[in-house]
Amino acid sequence: MQRECIVLLSVLTACAVDTEGFGGTAASGVGSVGSVGDGESGSSGLDDGEGGKSSDGPVESGDEGLDAADDDTKFDLPPGMADDGGAPATGCKKVDFLFVVDNSVSMSGEQQELVAAFPGFIAAIEGALPESSDPHIMVVDTDAETRCTKENCSDETPSNKVQELCLDPAGGYACEADFTGCDRKLGAGVVHPAGASASNQPCPVAGGKRWLDATDPDLAGAFSCMAKVGTAGDDAERPMDAMTNAIGDTLLAGCNAGFLRDDAILVVTFISDDACYEDHGTPQDWVDAVVAAKNGDPSAVVALGIISGNGCHDSASALESCAVPVAGDHWRDFVAAFEHGSTANVCTDSYVDFFAQAVGLVADSCHSFEPPG
């Protein structure tokens, strides 16, 4: 199955920068940022991405191409955020980033675009935080059914598709590697991606955590490993289920312990090309879960959705295969419920402009944030 702001505070342009920071070294290039993307404010709609990239088949994954450009660039900071590595004038000093990445068969190219845009986004946010304030960065996937495990790769597995997608890479790595209990849970931080187009290795995360912070020496490299969740996931993508699980009490007390902080704002980015309604619950249910995780403060949440829209993945045949065809409308409703929210079409050629726009949203949320207590 093929899937798919508050108003920007200033026009964001590109400038040269050393992207080292947060105790690590960022990847060298993310491409230049010209004008901001075409996305509209959170309550008013979606950048439809007409004329976006074609997705007639999975893009081959590899280490090449993950850094989108040869020049060192970052996003300029909007008003209200310090430009000297110091603290913002008011509000938060910490940010928790949760990335929810679709790992179904059509998503290899989109995962590469996310990895390419990440260093510039984090470098811009870094400029607003004091050196002592580390980010927390976690990646989760959307697969609740067909993870690559020895059991799913066995001859008794009902679906040959599981074996095909798991046996494809690195001589069957995904069917032989040892995975922990957390590797098998929807919403647990991904640190050992496996299967077709995945990293197929344990990611370099310090201290046995399932998320990144300032103790990790190479944030961009580790994020690249984690975000390449691969394309062996189930066709029924469930990013909202993964998101609510990730910040729910059960996983925060176990697999994801320590990720979510009361004195940080939460930036949720989810990316999927699904045209169908696969998640459990309603947009209001998802909003309520996220707000509850942030102690009842919706202004402490930035919601970013890179999702299906009018174009590449929403062909008539794709929609006809859906039990409930929505073309991402349920996700747009979720994002629109937040003051600090923005959406973009997953089929756009690059996500750099979208993340440049998101810097303004993070700035505004951070500026108004009042930590509890």
Q: Per the structure block, which two tokens stand in for 123?
A: 């470098």
Model pLDDT, residue 232: 83
- Report CA dihedral (305, 307, 310, 315) to the nearest 10 degrees: -170
Q: Tens digit of pLDDT for each residue in 150-194?
A: 777 776 655 555 666 776 655 578 888 888 889 989 999 999 998
Q: Tens digit of pLDDT for each residue in 338-356?
A: 999 999 998 888 899 999 8
Model pLDDT, residue 213: 93
- Residue that wins the pLDDT comparison between 317 and 246: 246
- Fold classified for 14-49+64-368: Rossmann fold (3.40.50)
Q: Name the percent of the chain lying above pLDDT 70.
A: 66
Is the pLDDT at 286 greater than 80? The verdict is yes
Q: List all residues 6 or more positions away from 92 whose beta carbon is below 8 Å from its beta carbon.
A: 263, 264, 265, 300, 365, 366, 369, 371
Cβ count near 214 (within 10 Å):
17
109's enclosing H/E stretch is helix 108-126
Mean pLDDT of 87-109: 80
- Residue that wins the pLDDT comparison between 85 and 319: 319
Backbone φ and ψ of 140, nearest 5°: -130, 155
Model pLDDT, residue 273: 86
176's enclosing H/E stretch is helix 173-176
The dihedral through the CA atoms of 100, 122, 327, 44 has a sign that is positive
- Report CA dihedral (126, 127, 129, 130) to the nearest 10 degrees: 110
Amino acid at 293: A
Mean pLDDT score of the chain: 74
Phi-psi region of 277 (alpha: psi -120 to 50; beta: other; left: phi over 0): beta
Beta bridge partners of 124: none
- Report CA dihedral (270, 370, 360, 341) to the nearest 10 degrees: 40
- Residue that wins the pLDDT comparison between 33 and 132: 132
Residue whose C-alpha is closest to residue 123's, from 216, 17, 12, 264: 17
Domain ranges across the chain? 14-49+64-368
- Residue that wins the pLDDT comparison between 227 and 235: 227
Q: Tens digit of pLDDT for each residue in 295-340?
A: 999 999 999 999 987 556 555 666 777 888 788 899 999 999 999 9
Model pLDDT, residue 61: 33
CB burial of residue 84 (10 Å; 0-12, 13-18, 19+):
exposed
Sole residue written with tokens 């303004």: 360
- Residue that wins the pLDDT comparison between 28 and 276: 276
Cβ count near 69 (within 10 Å):
16
- Share of the chain residues as helix, strand and coil, in percent rounded to the nearest 5: 25, 10, 60
The dihedral through the CA atoms of 97, 341, 235, 103 has a sign that is negative
